[in-house]
Structure 1
């Protein structure tokens, strides 16, 4: 168990992290998600032991490893790290990269050469590089280099694996492939993983829990389904996926009346207390049902219609606000200029995740 307790980090007058509290469970995959500059990489560096917090403490298995007056360096923590840039040595082969931690990692060091060879072979097979073990980084593709970096990180079997946007340098197809690789390795090894990313689809697809950060603070910590279907703040509802934030009035806590449509009411589908206090109702694009214009319903005009394979993505102007609406290609097709009404699909409170 890893505890981050009231941790803050300041650089002069700038606060990169503010009062971070987080518990990381054994063997879980946690994604730290947020935009550039939100503090996610700073948090990763604190976990790695690259620097001290300005205040607060970090404990790993009840041992204090970081505080304002104490810092256990990275080499004395049972951790490994995968960097965005791969950080491979050009003069070393694939196999030599993977041997290196077994000779020098404090917790993963193995002296017996036969045991070393067995561990290296097992790890290379795990990442699909057994046939490339004698190649140098310059002879490998981007995806293969990332697999080398991953193999080097996992071969000592660390208690904590830190990953700093490891797939951002790869193209879309390789990223999808590497997601599966990383998930499979996590299941095999059971190592606790902290995965920093600004890519919401990666976080939603891979993690057990997501930590959404903004401006140095944690906005929400929850499983992916809860982050998507029950966002607690305006930032989470708009940053993770697309959410239409409807203004209006909450009646008796469980009924919402949208502005401009006094005869329309929607039930509470899990809206957070914070959003209710701001008189907001979040609706994901796929939660709308778009129909021909009807009196007594939320009505607007189609501005744009985009074919997306199994869906049509509409932009609908309602009063002075533009709503995003996703509709099946099997439903009635509308074109720009059409007047339509929007209903909320209250039959399905938790919809499929759509990015």
Structure 2
């Protein structure tokens, strides 16, 4: 069986949830090798954060979790969070405000040599005596990451770790996390809504919808949704459809951008406002395809 292979980590998660569209069951199964960087994507309320919390032991569930051939949870066993070798980086940093930077790290484990090493490689050495309320968002997130690594985790969990940061800080921290992932040979699971972030960092992607895995493959196969010689492909939403003289035009939103594209008569008949579509191009001619 997969879960018995050397350095394999096996997760079979099952829990009843109240999702964005009502009651649902989070029911996912996947395995990771040591050193994998898995990104979990999906719409809000699909169960992504709950999945991380179950792996960390912060929520009870009917699950089977095996990490490095050690049973963390099954029908008979439940290893408490403090005994799981987990590093967890939350969205809100979760630092102790009454402790300075190095005290935050040493609270996890009294290993000053490791703490100093982590402060060095995350460029925090000069800030080690500062308190969280004097740090920027990016500095706080680096402290949170260094603190998570103090446990020498077998699994590093990150729940949208860059969501509160500006674009330049996000890019800088992404590079640091990728280097730390390699340096410590981590197995990392990250929840993210950013395709570019997922593409840069992960080698595997799972997409969850209403508690179920709808895609599970390597990063390029999941994110590059086009085939053949398409130059690009983006998921978009139809905001408006209009006709100008003999030309049909679709107003679409892609992320935070709104664009107009020319569509054929056939496309105009088959599309309606609110439809989700894939917009792609071949030889600089945009194509639009409705998502079923």
Normalised by the length of structure 2, the TM-score is: 0.77
The partner residue of 2:143 within 127, 133, 148 is 148
**Counterpart contact for 1:95–1:133, Cα < 8 Å:** yes
Q: Structure 1 pair 76/174, CA: closer, same or farther in 2 (3 Å)?
A: same
Give, in whole Å, the separation in 2 of the partners of 1:168 and 1:137: 18
Unaligned residue ranges in structure 2 (runs of 5+) = 1-7, 235-245, 254-258, 272-276
Q: Structure 1 pair 342/35, CA: closer, same or farther in 2 (3 Å)?
A: closer
Q: Which residue in 2 is equivalent to 1:15?
A: 24
Q: Which residue in 2 is equivalent to 1:165?
A: 160
Give, in whole Å, the separation in 2 of the partners of 1:305 and 1:40: 27
Give, in whole Å, the separation in 2 of the partners of 1:41 and 1:188: 26
Unaligned residue ranges in structure 1 (runs of 5+) = 104-115, 232-242, 244-267, 271-281, 287-298, 307-312, 332-340, 345-355
Larger relative contact order, structure 1 or 2 (CA cutoff 8 Å, min sep 6): 2
Secondary structure of residue in 2 paired with 1:138: helix
Give, in whole Å, the separation in 2 of the partners of 1:119 and 1:101: 11
Q: Which residue in 1 is equivalent to 2:65?
A: 58
Give, in whole Å, the separation in 1 of the partners of 2:161 and 2:200: 15
**Counterpart contact for 2:231–2:282, Cα < 8 Å:** no
Query: Following TM superposition, by how much is the alpha carbon of 1:198 offset from its aligned partner in structure 2, in angstroms?
Result: 2.1
Do structure 1's residue 75 and structure 2's residue 82 form an aligned pair?
A: yes
Secondary structure of residue in 1 paired with 2:196: helix
Matches within 5 A, 1:30-41: 30-41=38-49
The partner residue of 1:209 within 186, 204, 213 is 204
- Size of the aligned set, in residue pairs, is 254
Give, in whole Å, the separation in 2 of the partners of 1:123 and 1:23: 29
Q: Which residue in 1 is equivalent to 2:37?
A: 29
**Counterpart contact for 1:163–1:196, Cα < 8 Å:** yes
Give, in whole Å, the separation in 2 of the partners of 1:26 and 1:200: 23
Q: Deviations over 1:11-36 (max 9, x none)?
A: 48822402x11001101111111111
CA RMSD of aligned residues (A): 3.1
Q: Which residue in 2 is equivalent to 1:183?
A: 178
The partner residue of 1:121 within 116, 133, 154 is 116
**Counterpart contact for 1:93–1:137, Cα < 8 Å:** yes
Give, in whole Å, the separation in 1 of the partners of 2:119 and 2:84: 24
**Counterpart contact for 1:315–1:324, Cα < 8 Å:** no
Do structure 1's residue 316 and structure 2's residue 262 form an aligned pair?
A: yes
Query: Following TM superposition, by how much is the alpha carbon of 1:135 offset from its aligned partner in structure 2, in angstroms?
Result: 0.5
**Counterpart contact for 1:314–1:326, Cα < 8 Å:** no
Q: Structure 1 pair 28/303, CA: closer, same or farther in 2 (3 Å)?
A: closer
The partner residue of 2:103 within 79, 96, 100 is 96
Secondary structure of residue in 1 paired with 2:109: helix
**Counterpart contact for 1:316–1:323, Cα < 8 Å:** no
Q: Which residue in 2 is equivalent to 1:279?
A: none
Query: Following TM superposition, by how much is the alpha carbon of 1:134 offset from its aligned partner in structure 2, in angstroms?
Result: 0.7
Give, in whole Å, the separation in 2 of the partners of 1:318 and 1:209: 36
Q: Structure 1 pair 43/131, CA: closer, same or farther in 2 (3 Å)?
A: same
Give, in whole Å, the separation in 2 of the partners of 1:140 and 1:148: 10
**Counterpart contact for 1:316–1:325, Cα < 8 Å:** no
Secondary structure of residue in 1 paired with 2:92: coil
Query: Following TM superposition, by how much is the alpha carbon of 1:140 offset from its aligned partner in structure 2, in angstroms?
Result: 0.6
Query: Following TM superposition, by how much is the alpha carbon of 1:323 offset from its aligned partner in structure 2, in angstroms?
Result: 7.4
Query: Following TM superposition, by how much is the alpha carbon of 1:269 offset from its aligned partner in structure 2, in angstroms?
Result: 4.2
Of 142-151 and 45-54, deviating more is 45-54
